[in-house]
Amino acid sequence: MDRRHVIKNLAMLPIGGSFLSIGNAAQAKSVGPISLDEDIYGSIGVDTIINCRGTFTIIGGSRERPEVLTAMKAAAGNFIQYDEMAHGIGQRLADITKAEWGIITAGCAAAMKHATAACVSGGNPEILLRIPDLSLVHKNEVIIPRYSRNVYDASIRNIGVTIMEVSTPEELEAAISSKTAMIYITTGRQSATGQPLSLEVIAGIAKPKNIPVLVDAAAEDLTIPNVHLEKGATMVAYSGGKAICGPQCAGILLGQKDILMSAWQASSPHHGPGRDNKVGKEEMMGMLAAVEAWVTRDHEQEWKNWENWLEQISAKVTKVKGVTANVQLPAADELNNRAPTLQVMWDPNSLHITGPEMAEYLGRNKPRIAVGGRDNGENNTLITITPSQMVAGEVPIVADRLVEVLSKKRQPKKPMAAPSGSLAGRWLVEIQFFSSTSTHKWYLEQDENWLMGRHESDYTSQDILGTIEGNEVKLHSTYREPGKQVQYMFGGKLQGDTLTGNIHLGEYQTATFTAKRVTYSPDRKPILIPDGPPLAT
């Protein structure tokens, strides 16, 4: 068992009743009407965060450009016919991006969903309205290279298609049939030029068979003319709330006009499977303004600003004894989350805090700062600062805060307390989710403070690792399927044969649990091994 790995995953897990109830906390702080100024979040009991992490949806994506806010305000004052607006936007996106056509959607995931619906239905409303029941629909399969399986392909699966995974060009050739509606890929190293299943290879196989290829470029810089369309993609989807700095609830889909017209048909305000992905006229015009701004922004000056801010932070934090820093630059052809990144490093055995622990502390305590954090070996740990969503006034705040936390005197971590009891054996785990209950099982082994075994959850079984210090227990397992993942981080207190506490479910928030030991006494019977083949079946 990799004990350091266990500690890294469990060190910050709360115990017992120490999980914060998010809803109750906000409700307790909230008084009076909301403030229509920069304290709008504080007026509902929510702390703002300095974003040194990047364009993550969970903390708000990106900062909208001033042009975006101006366009949205202007668009709010009038009414329009949506199809007419979409046609005007489509032509304008084509003019700007040099793509054949474009539509604006409720985010990149919605663009992927509408593209899939378009490839399944071909613009036929009767087929469109059958989604997600594709039992009588002929084109009901989507091919995805195994390297492209991810949590966002849920937007494709929501249409009801069957996912066909492939790993080689030969498997791709074999998977294509008359049922193939589309091929979906993500961008990155494995889809790059020269790789066995690069976009060019996939497009070369798909195009002669008239199979559309959708590229998910959510967090990429927008390229004009579009690099993916030039390599053979049929469509490419972007998030509005990332590099383009448009509305967080908008995205764009660029590519072949006839398929994009079918994708628009499959989106709100039209009824059908995309009606739940509504994007307002204000966001649509704001997104168009963001794309227009992309071609006029001084990207070179933005980059210089980012590097200058990182240099200012580096100059301050490296005055702390034992702390070093360097700036990591993306590869010249890297388009995803493209920005310089500052790595701040130290020996955790000297400062007695790890990068993940520091990231957790900075993110939970005012002034709240979101940074990356990871261990980089036994004697090296680090945090990362990404400046793309910062503003100049936040730079000294971040630098001073890092110096304060890194300079703090800490005692070496105490050895693990001896366990108060044994968890070895079988456990029945009753879980209370927000609005339902479930029963799981643990099969645990114990070696002093260390726990390992199997966790049987609702639909599968996975490894579980953990620790016990005194009566405090922490356990971690991960439910995984292609494109799906749920983290189970159990924290509780052992009392006799009962363990109670909370579960941190990662992005799915929290639950509570009570685990009880199951007494198991198997029958002790001799086992007869036959000397030959059976004489009867």
User: Per-residue pLDDT averaged across 107-124, rounded?
Assistant: 97
Q: pLDDT category, 360, cuts 50, 70, 90? A: very high
- The candidate with the shortest Cα–Cα distance to 253, out of 215, 207, 289, 293, is 215
Q: Do domains 51-62+298-413 and 66-294 have the same CATH topology?
A: no
Residue 28 confidence (pLDDT) above 60: no
- Asked which of 61-65, 225-229, 235-239, 517-521 is least confident by mean pLDDT, the reply is 517-521
Residue 232 confidence (pLDDT) above 90: yes
CA distances from 145 to 140, 162, 183, 418 (A): 17, 14, 8, 48
Q: pLDDT category, 522, cuts 50, 70, 90? A: confident
Residue 370 confidence (pLDDT) above 80: yes
What percent of the chain clears pLDDT 70, i.e. is strictly above it?
A: 94
Distance of CA 364 to the CA centre of its chain: 20
pLDDT digits (tens, 9 = 90+) for 49-102: 999 999 999 999 999 999 999 999 999 999 999 999 999 999 999 999 999 999
- CATH architecture of the domain 1-25+40-46+416-517 equals Beta Barrel (2.40)
User: Per-residue pLDDT averaged across 239-249, rounded?
Assistant: 96
Name every residue whose Cβ is closer than 8 Å to that of residue 317 and which is 6 or more positions away in sequence. Answer: 323, 325, 344, 399, 402, 403, 406
Spatial distance between the Cα atoms of 423 and 418, rounded to a whole number of angstroms? 13
Residue 23 confidence (pLDDT) above 90: no
As a CATH number, domain 66-294 is: 3.40.640.10
What confidence score (pLDDT) does residue 333 get?
Answer: 87
What confidence score (pLDDT) does residue 13 get?
Answer: 56
Q: Please check whether residue 266 is in contact with residue 279, taking contact to mean a CB–CB distance below 8 angstroms.
A: no
Q: Is 328 left (phi over 0), alpha (psi -120 to 50) or beta?
A: beta
pLDDT digits (tens, 9 = 90+) for 321-335: 999 999 999 998 899
Q: pLDDT category, 10, cuts 50, 70, 90? A: low
What confidence score (pLDDT) does residue 493 get?
Answer: 97
Q: Domain ranges in the chain?
A: 1-25+40-46+416-517, 51-62+298-413, 66-294
Residue 25 confidence (pLDDT) above 60: no
What confidence score (pLDDT) does residue 521 get?
Answer: 80
The amino acid present at 239, given as its one-letter code, is: S
What confidence score (pLDDT) does residue 24 get?
Answer: 46
Q: Please check whether residue 112 is in contact with residue 148, taking contact to mean a CB–CB distance below 8 angstroms.
A: no
Q: What is the mean pLDDT of the chain?
A: 93
DSSP code, position 508: G
Q: Report the predicted TM-score, pTM, of the whole model to 2 decimal places.
A: 0.90
CB-neighbour burial class of residue 199 (10 A; exposed 0-12, middle 13-18, buried 19+): buried
What confidence score (pLDDT) does residue 378 get?
Answer: 82
pLDDT digits (tens, 9 = 90+) for 258-310: 999 999 999 999 999 999 999 999 999 999 999 999 999 999 999 999 999 99
Determine the topology of domain 51-62+298-413 in CATH: Aspartate Aminotransferase, domain 1 (3.90.1150)
Residue 417 confidence (pLDDT) above 90: yes
| pLDDT higher at 464 or 336 | 464
Between CA 251 and CA 508, with CA 394 as vertex, the angle to 5 degrees is: 50
Beginning with the edge strand found earlier in the chain, give each strand of the sheet holding 141-145 in spatial order: 101-105, 251-255, 235-239, 213-216, 180-186, 141-145, 162-166
Spatial distance between the Cα atoms of 128 and 474, rounded to a whole number of angstroms? 48
Spatial distance between the Cα atoms of 529 and 515, rounded to a whole number of angstroms? 38
Q: Which residues pair with 446 in a beta bridge?
A: 451
User: Per-residue pLDDT averaged across 162-188, rounded?
Assistant: 97
User: Per-residue pLDDT averaged across 376-405, rounded?
Assistant: 96
Residue 339 confidence (pLDDT) above 70: yes
CA distances from 305 to 61, 67, 298, 340, 401 (A): 20, 20, 11, 11, 20
Residue 225, preceding bond cis, omega within 30 degrees? yes
User: Per-residue pLDDT averaged across 414-433, rounded?
Assistant: 96
